[in-house]
Amino acid sequence: MKKLVVCALCAAMVVPTVTVSVSADSKELVLYTWEGMFPQEILDGFEEETGIKIVYSNFDTDETMLEKLSMAKGGDYDVVIADDYIIQNAIEEGLVEKLDTSRLSGWDNINPLYQGQFFDPDNEYTVPYGAGIPLIVYDPDMVDIDIKGYSDLWDPSLEDSVALIGNYRVLNGITNLTLGQDFNDQDVDDIKKTGEKLLELAPNVRLIQDDNTQNALLNGEASVGFLYTSQVTAALQENPDLKVVYPEEGLGFGVIGMFIPSQAPDNDEAYQFVDYILQPENAAKCFDYIGYYCTNKAADSLLENQDLVVPDAVTEGFSVENVSAEAEEQYNKNWTEFKAACD
């Protein structure tokens, strides 16, 4: 997902997509998502419990998914899991069914932090299936201040010691929040102020990179990192004494959503599968497996990896949304100037 998303939530292996035709009276369910999104025991457990055979079909990118679903006019597939921004496009094209939540006994298990987002503001179409949340992580032995939010990244004591991911909209977004602006502010004059504020951060930046950014924190090159979810968990596994900060200004995140296509050939089976995944024990196994933040509040206490649970005190979050061409141009300009200042 290379549009305006907090982070590339699923760096999936490139696997040929298979279009599957299923007869109307068969006990099968066609699941369409990236490879490796479910532990095998969950897929096997669903088949054993329901007698419904899962046909697991993979796509490589969100755009491939939308193209195939569009060609099928919302058919061929029974359950699809994809990233937030592309789901918005699928909904706008009429390819997604409005959910009958009375058929989902686990609906109330969803953590409301991840609902009401831009792609499904009224929670009519999707069930969240994990979130990617960039967070601040720091080594308390190397930092003299108690970091509580994004604004602390500008502290003069952190000169030449901050490692950042290379996501231009996220960095612009968190800077907006430090100025009291909307994460997705579209006012060009506001965004220019954001650019000025970003330039003030440059002296503190040790490096900007998207891959394995946590290594700079682990090897001591940086004392503070602003990292993707997978990098946060990798850093904590290596050094559990690192501190994780859930910024007081609010979280920026990307959500993976699960939905039923508008013409799903096996609608009943689709609802059974979605509800199966919503059950706490099953959800916990899924989130431990995929390594994204848990979006099922009833599963939080069951997770083996409690690093994937957002504290109850966190009640606000923001997704990166599409903005106007003018705003996008200014965000890009901010980023170009910021990177140049960091070199």
Q: What does the pLDDT average to over 218-236?
A: 93
d(CA 100, CA 88): 19
Contacts of 153 (CB under 8 A, 6+ apart): 136, 147, 162, 201, 204, 224, 226
Q: Which residues lie across from 30 on neighbouring strands?
A: 55
Lowest-confidence region among 60-64, 190-194, 278-282, 335-339: 60-64
Q: What's the token pair of residue 134?
A: 């960039």
Q: Is the pLDDT of residue 202 over 60?
A: yes
For the chain, count helices (H), then strands (E).
10, 12
Domain positions in the chain: 28-132+254-312, 135-252+319-342
**How far is it between the farthest Cα atoms of the chain?**
67
**pLDDT band for position 274 (cuts 50, 70, 90):** very high
Query: pLDDT tens digits for 280-339?
Result: 999 999 999 998 899 999 999 999 988 878 877 676 778 888 889 999 999 999 999 999
Look at residue 67 in the predicted model and tell me its pLDDT: 95
Backbone angles phi, psi at 48, to 5 degrees: -65, -40
The rounded percent of the chain whose pLDDT value lies above 70 is 92
Lowest-confidence region among 24-38, 47-61, 68-82, 132-146: 24-38
Cβ count within 10 A of residue 240: 8
d(CA 120, CA 125): 7
Q: What's the token pair of residue 218?
A: 């682990």
The domain defined by 135-252+319-342 carries CATH number 3.20.20.370? no
As a whole number, the mean pLDDT across the chain is 90
Whats the size of the chain, residue-wise?
343
Is 216:239 a contact under the CB 8 Å cutoff? no
Alpha-carbon dihedral angle through residues 193, 196, 198, 202, given to the nearest 10 degrees: -170
Q: Is the pLDDT of residue 340 over 80?
A: yes
What pTM does this model have? 0.77
Q: What's the token pair of residue 8?
A: 């590339």
Look at residue 291 in the predicted model and tell me its pLDDT: 87
Look at residue 7 in the predicted model and tell me its pLDDT: 40
Q: What does the pLDDT average to over 114-143?
A: 95
Look at residue 315 in the predicted model and tell me its pLDDT: 67
DSSP 251-283: EE-EEEEEE-BTT-TTHHHHHHHHHHHHSHHHH
Please check whether the two domains, 28-132+254-312 and 135-252+319-342, share a CATH topology.
yes
**pLDDT band for position 177 (cuts 50, 70, 90):** very high
Q: Is the pLDDT of residue 11 over 80?
A: no
Look at residue 328 in the predicted model and tell me its pLDDT: 93
Q: What are the Cα distances from residue 6, in Å, to 25, 88, 173, 318?
A: 41, 15, 9, 9
Look at residue 26 in the predicted model and tell me its pLDDT: 55
- Give the containing element (helix H, strand E) for 214: helix 214-218
Contacts of 114 (CB under 8 A, 6+ apart): 128, 131, 253, 255, 295, 317
The CATH code of the domain at 28-132+254-312 is 3.40.190.10
Q: Is the pLDDT of residue 136 over 70?
A: yes
More confident residue, 132 or 179: 179
Q: What's the token pair of residue 66?
A: 């939308």
Look at residue 322 in the predicted model and tell me its pLDDT: 82
Q: What does the pLDDT average to over 236-242?
A: 94
